[in-house]
Amino acid sequence: MRDVLEALAAGQISVEAAEAKISGYVTSEAGRFDAARVDRSGVPEAILATGKTPKEVATLAVSSLESTDRAIVTRTDETDRNAIREHLDRDYPDASVEVEKRAGGVVVHTPEFERPALDARVGVVTAGTSDAAPAAEAELIISETGGQVERIDDVGVASLARLLDTLPTLRAQDVLVVAAGREGALPTVVAGLVDVPVIGLPVSTGYGHGGDGKAALIGMLQSCTVLSVVNIDAGFTAGAQASLIARQTERARTE
């Protein structure tokens, strides 16, 4: 703690960074940002824009930058993104901003941030283009934790030839996130063809009975092949779980 206080007194770190190092979180008018999450669990803290005002989203993004040199914001709309840009122009004009509009993901890095790198390959697979948004959210989190992402898109079970053509790529990954809507069959099929962990990501695409993702979720939970399953549209969770597996894979390789 003394080192933190001395750095604060010398002007080497901000008040927010000092608070994060001492308490593990930063307090602002928009809430408390869990700055220690990535060190504690291996998963970076992300700011869910849904249910927050644009000002709250932007304030928390700045808190994240002040304490970790990075901000990850999920499920934003254009109003949220404009608020974030306004705050960055004022407080962090040199920050880099990446936007994934389909999933609404925003990633901001200060010049001091060093993105981690893992010696592990993570495949993100979609059954169809309609499954791209949750898959993109998973990819964002995997990339931010250092995983090497391989996208394999539009290989749904309506035409197995598309999937079979990608088998060498699928089998070369250390872990797979497989996103599918409708009846959610793709993760089950993939898990029967590879010897790596498969995370099923049910997507709320389809129509009629069960078309809001429930049929996909139930189908994956009832899989006769071995896979784990996250909640409907839970791209962040799928990406975080894949990242933890990738991290352990790298650790095993280096031991």
The domain boundary, picked from 64, 79, 109, lies at 109
Q: Are residues 169 and 137 in the same domain?
A: yes
Which one has a higher pLDDT value, 46 or 36? 46
Mean pLDDT calculated for residue range 112-124: 93
* Cβ atoms of residues 125 and 178 within 8 Å: yes
Which one has a higher pLDDT value, 41 or 20? 41
Answer whether residue 203 is part of any domain: yes
Residue 137 scores a pLDDT above 50:
yes
Q: pLDDT confidence of 83, banded at 50, 70, 90?
A: very high
* Cβ atoms of residues 147 and 246 within 8 Å: yes
Within 10 angstroms of residue 117's Cβ, the number of other Cβ atoms is: 11
**Total count of domains within the chain:** 2
Mean pLDDT calculated for residue range 45-70: 94
Q: pLDDT confidence of 84, banded at 50, 70, 90?
A: very high
Residue 4 scores a pLDDT above 50:
no
Q: Are residues 158 and 57 in the same domain?
A: no
Q: How far is the C-alpha of 69 from the C-alpha of 8, rounded, in Å?
A: 16
Q: Are residues 204 and 236 in the same domain?
A: yes
Q: Are residues 103 and 128 in the same domain?
A: no
The domain boundary, picked from 109, 130, 162, lies at 109
Q: Are residues 238 and 143 in the same domain?
A: yes
Q: Are residues 167 and 102 in the same domain?
A: no
Residue range(s) defining the domain that contains residue 36: 2-109
Q: Are residues 151 and 247 in the same domain?
A: yes
Answer whether residue 116 is part of any domain: no
CA atoms within 13 Å, Cβ hemisphere of 85: 10
Q: Are residues 104 and 125 in the same domain?
A: no
Q: pLDDT confidence of 223, banded at 50, 70, 90?
A: very high
Q: How far is the C-alpha of 94 from the C-alpha of 89, rounded, in Å?
A: 8
Answer whether residue 114 is part of any domain: no
Q: Are residues 201 and 156 in the same domain?
A: yes
Q: Are residues 82 and 139 in the same domain?
A: no
The domain boundary, picked from 109, 137, 171, lies at 109
The least confident of 26-30, 145-149, 244-248 is: 26-30
Residue 229 scores a pLDDT above 90:
yes
How much is the pTM? 0.89
Q: Are residues 132 and 229 in the same domain?
A: yes
pLDDT digit string, tens, across residues 167-205: 999 999 999 999 999 999 999 999 999 999 999 999 999
Mean pLDDT calculated for residue range 53-68: 93
Answer whether residue 89 is part of any domain: yes
* Cβ atoms of residues 77 and 101 within 8 Å: no
